[in-house]
Every structure is written in structure tokens, then in C-alpha cells.
Amino acid sequence: MEENSKKKLQMDDFKDIVLAAYPKKVAKKRSKSIILNDPDSIPQIQANVRTIPGIITQRGCTYAGCKGVVLGPTRDIISITHGPIGCGFYSWLTRRNQTKPATPEEENYIPYAFSTDMQDSNIVFGGEEKLKQAIREANELFHPKAIAIFSTCPVGLIGDDVHRVARHMMEELPGVNIFGFSCEGYRGVSQSAGHHIANNGLFKNLIGRDDTVEGKFKFRINVLGEYNIGGDAFAIEALLEKCGIQLVATMSGNSTRKQFETAHTADLNLVMCHRSINYVAEMMETAFGIPWIKANLIGAEATAKTLRKIGQYFGNKDLSDRIEEVIAEEMIAVSAAREKATLKTKGKLAMLFVGGSRAHHYQELFDELGMRTLSAGYEFGHRDDYEGRRVIPSIQIDADSRNIEEITVTKDALRYAPRKTEAELNDLKSKGLEFNGYDGMMKEMAKGTLVIDDLSHYEMEKLVEMYHPDVFCAGVKEKYCVQKMGIPLKQLHNYDSGGPYAAFEGAINFYKDIEMIACSTIFKQMKAPWECEEMVEAEYAY
């Protein structure tokens, strides 16, 4: 009875019910981040602001965004975590970013966790000497061409200067490119600050240092914001190869130092995860004249659309014909898998609360499965990821964003070469190809759906309790809480043990996995002992 009446609640009741439980000040702040969507007149959402102390957030730290997310997946750079061992340990492969060296002899440091393992004495007397020693040791053991140093919270608090150490060690070890990141966990309000810091470092220390042009195809692109979780980049590499498109660099799934260094030899940048890498896309356009387009390779329809955009950009008939052939070929298996899965998934409900891009991209796949997304949000997206890049000029810069270094990029004296003339770009725009644009998540979500930024644990429980989605997508911190409430949770950070989910091959995997998960009743059978056993209850008597 109670459950039935709960189900009838409208989405707009959620906000009132949740806010009523918070203290007044907290309610006022959270109310700006819980928004009822209207794609025709996109409402403003509060995002990228500090989490209120005491609230259980899904967010991670700035170090995680810099080391774990952006630089970590590159296999031939030694990434040393300067800090206590926990930081290095917990960012060691938990994200399931994969890599595939061409030969067994090729450098691959991904299986290792390098850390200075700071102790109390280093906190008291400084850790720079220990860091230098760690760099010497790593160099002796592996002879790498590049070493990156990542700062954790205590490093900033005690004032160790990782950049000074990097300069010093470059002199001591000529030929090794050594650079540091001031990505202390507390430096920003979330991982997002770490992405920005990593983007700056990539640009200053790696991108554009090697002019060698390699590869068999003449249509040269980079894929930015793709991190090879569960093998996504492998699926994308295979697809581009099939179409005859040269992938110069992926940033940074399955990547190498050389890919970064030669990335400026590509003629187009595709931006997958806008949140984590849009800065590099902008910098590369300014410095080298390479245009960027927002792309999505999650979902079969989205993949086809992205391939067609590439074809349109290069304006070559053979390439476009080949792309159409590949799409037609791949769609046979995709359609069959989709039809089969949809029989069971049609009409089911999904909720997605992940990172800064997947909560948007994966809605494509749920659409393809005939499922409805009732509610979605990012952990650390900015307003542009929700409302579209058109709002960027109106975003207020606060003290937390000012904390992140802004680097000034100018045209590269030798390498700047606009890939298209102004007239060519305008012509492509008039034909519907949008450059430097991202419309954000809200435009593609239905009217009346709930968009929530930096979802709290309490709000998550309320969502599940009130709307009973058939699948809840989030991460490991949420997984077991949601499943104990009888709803299956699919991890969209590391994909549990699944993937790839990108491109056509990935779409098929996703259909199968979601069919299995969303249609399973097993979680509803789960009862905690106190829910199914008789309990003796008593009260204190005074």
C-alpha cells in the first residue's frame, strides 16, 4: 500500500522531500543542484562548487583526476606518487584502464605502483630528498624516457617543491624528461581540477615535441578523453583502422609518450570526454590550428554519427563510402543483439550518476535498449557539461577555480598550420558540422527528468526508495548500498568486470549485460536478517 502510493509520486516531489530533511542552509545550497529538466528552455544548475562538509559525496580528489585519470593510462611514463602509500595504492589499476604494448619488450609501467611512501619523518623534515632518491631508483631499474611526479595532500601542506626536484633531477639524469604536477588532493573541489592540471602538464611537457609523421592512412585524427576502460580504446582503434582512419594519439587510453609528442601531426581532434580534456583540445587548436569536434563513441547510433562527422570533415568520397560500408556491416550484428535485448529491456528505468561525461553518454545506450533515464547527474561536471558550452562566459570564476594554473598558449612559431581555411570551416558549419561545441546533457534528457549535481548518499537512497529504477549506474562506493535496497547497480566507472562498451562491438556487449542485469530479480530476493527474521524489540525503562 505504502509502496504503491510512493510509486505514484511525481519527479518534482523528490526535491521537496529531500530538502525537507536538510538543515536550512544546506537545503538552500542543495536546492540549486537539484533541477527538474526542460530541454527546450534549459534551466541553470549549480555545479563545480564545494561539497558541503558532512555530506557523503561520490566525488574523488584532484590527485585522482590528474594521476589516476589523465596521465595514469600512459604505459611508458613512470608515474611516481609523492605521498603516503595509500594514495598510490588506491589509484593503482582500480579503474581498469588497459594497455597493450606492441611487443613484450616494450616499456610498460602500468602494472607497477610507484610511490615515495612518505613517513612521519618526511612530513616533519621534508620529502624532497626521498623523492630524488625514488627518481634515481626508478631510473636505475627501468631507464625510462620520462618520469612524472604527482603531489598528494601532505606535499602541498609541508611545501615540498616537486617542480624544483624535477628540474634538479633533469640535470642529474640528462635525457630523461622529468616533470611534476601540483595536483594535491585538496587543490580543487573534485577530480575536475586534476584534469585541468594534467592537461596543462601534457601541453607543457609532452605534446608537440616530435614532428615524425607515421601511419599508413592519410586521414589523421586524435581521440581525446578516452581512457581505455575495459578495453574501450581497443574497440575504437579497431573500428578506425577498418574505416581507414589513422589514429595518431588517444589521450590517454592505451597511449605512449610518443603518441603525445606527435599528436600535433593529426588534422582533427575528436573530444569524447569533454570534462577531462577540453583544455587540451582548445590549446591544440590555438597552438597548431587543429579544429576539434565533440564526438561520442558510446552507443551504436552515436558511433555511426561520429564516423560520419569524420567523413564530412575530411570531405573525401572514398573515405565516406568506406565509412558507410563499415557502418552497414557492423549494424547487422548490432541490430540483432539490440532486438533480442529490447524484448526484455523495453520500458525499464535507469538512473546514472557518474563522473563528468558518462552520465550523459550512456543514456544513448539506454535509449537504444528502449529504456528511460529518469534521473542523471555528474559528480564533478561543470555547468557547460550540463547546459552546454554556450554558458561558459557566464560561469562565475570562484576562489577554487582560481587556484588552478591557467597557461597562456600562443601560436607555435613553426608548427601552426590551420587545417581548414575560414571559408572551408564555414561551409562545413553550414552543412551541420559543429566545431568547438558541446550542448551538454540536459538538452538530450526528457522534460521532467531529474538532474542532480554531486548527488549525496542520502539523495541516492531516496531516489531508489521513491522511484525503484531497474538499474542504477554509479561506482563501487554506491554499489552495495543500492543492491542491498534490491536494485542492481552497474558500475559505469570500471564496468565491474565487463567491457568494452565503446563503438559497435561495445554496444553489443552493453545490450547483453544490461539485459542480464536489469531483468534480474535476484536483488529483490535479498533480505537483510533483520528484514526476514523475527526481532525482539525493547525500550529502556527509566
Binding site for ligand CFM (CB under 6 A): 65, 69, 95, 191, 225, 227, 229, 273, 275-276, 354-358, 493
One-character DSSP codes across 243-311: HT-EEEEEEETTB-HHHHHHGGG-SEEEESSHHHHHHHHHHHHHHH---EEE---BSHHHHHHHHHHHH
| Residue with the CB atom nearest ligand CFM in the bound state | 355
Give whichever of 254 and 276 is closer to ligand CFM, judged by the CB atom: 276
Task: Reply yes or no on whether 143 is catalytic.
Answer: no
Which member of 30, 47, 59, 64 is catalytic? Answer: 64
d(CA 396, CA 46): 11
Q: How far is CA 174 from the centre of its chain?
A: 35
Q: Yes or no: say if 458 and 17 are a contact pair by the CB < 8 Å rule.
A: no
All cell numbers assigned to 457:
548518499
CB of 510 to ligand CFM, least distance (A): 14
Using the minimum distance from each CB to ligand CFM, give the nearer residue, 134 or 404: 404
Question: Cβ 390 to ligand CFM, closest distance in Å?
Answer: 20
Beta carbon nearer to ligand CFM, 264 or 275: 275
Name the minimum Å distance from CB 355 to ligand CFM: 2
Whether 64 is catalytic is: yes
- Is 37 or 357 the residue whose CB approaches ligand CFM more closely? 357
Of 493, 494, 470, 472, the closest CA to residue 481 belongs to 472
User: What is the smallest separation between the CB atom of 47 and ligand CFM, expressed in angstroms?
Assistant: 13
Strands (E), 219-338: 220-226, 246-252, 268-271, 292-294
Measured from the CB of residue 70, what is the shortest distance to ligand CFM in angstroms?
7
Q: What is the DSSP code (8-state) at residue 348?
A: -
DSSP summary character for residue 299 = S
Contact status, residue 15 vs residue 453, Cβ threshold 8 Å: no
Minimum Å gap between C-beta 97 and ligand CFM is 7
- Residue 249 near residue 237, CB atoms below 8 Å: no
**Dist. CA 442–CA 35, nearest whole Å:** 10
In angstroms, what CA-CA distances link 186 with 59, 166, 332, 397? 12, 22, 49, 18
Q: Within 10 A of 126 (CB to CB), how many other CB atoms are there? A: 16
- Answer yes or no: 195 catalytic: yes
Distance from the Cα of residue 333 to its chain's centroid = 28
Strand 450-452 and strand 372-377: pairing?
parallel
Catalytic residue among 95, 196, 220, 275: 95
CB of 131 or CB of 354, closer to ligand CFM: 354
Of 112, 101, 100, the closest CA to residue 137 belongs to 112
| 3-class SS of residue 400 | helix
Which C-beta is closer to ligand CFM: that of 118 or that of 202?
202
As a dihedral over the C-alpha atoms of residue 249, residue 254, residue 260, residue 263, rounded to 10 degrees, the angle is 0
Using alpha carbons only, how large is the chain's radius of gyration in Å? 24
Tell me whether residue 300 or residue 492 sits nearer to ligand CFM (CB atom). Answer: 492
Residue 88 is placed in which grid cell?
A: 598510490
Would you say 337 or 507 has its CB closer to ligand CFM? 507
Nearer to ligand CFM, 122 or 278 (CB): 278
Nearest approach, Cβ of 277 to ligand CFM (angstroms)? 8
Least CB distance to ligand CFM at residue 73 (A)? 9
Paired sense of beta strands 372-377 and 349-353, if any: parallel
| From 47, 61, 87, 518, the catalytic residue | 61
Whether the CB-CB separation of 497 and 94 falls below 8 Å is answered with: no
Q: For residue 30, what is the enclosing H or E element?
A: helix 24-31
Smallest distance, Å, CB 48 to ligand CFM?
12
∠ CA 450-456-462, nearest 5°, is: 60
Identified catalytic residue from 59, 75, 82, 195 = 195
Active site residue 209: no
| Active-site residue list | 61, 64, 95, 195
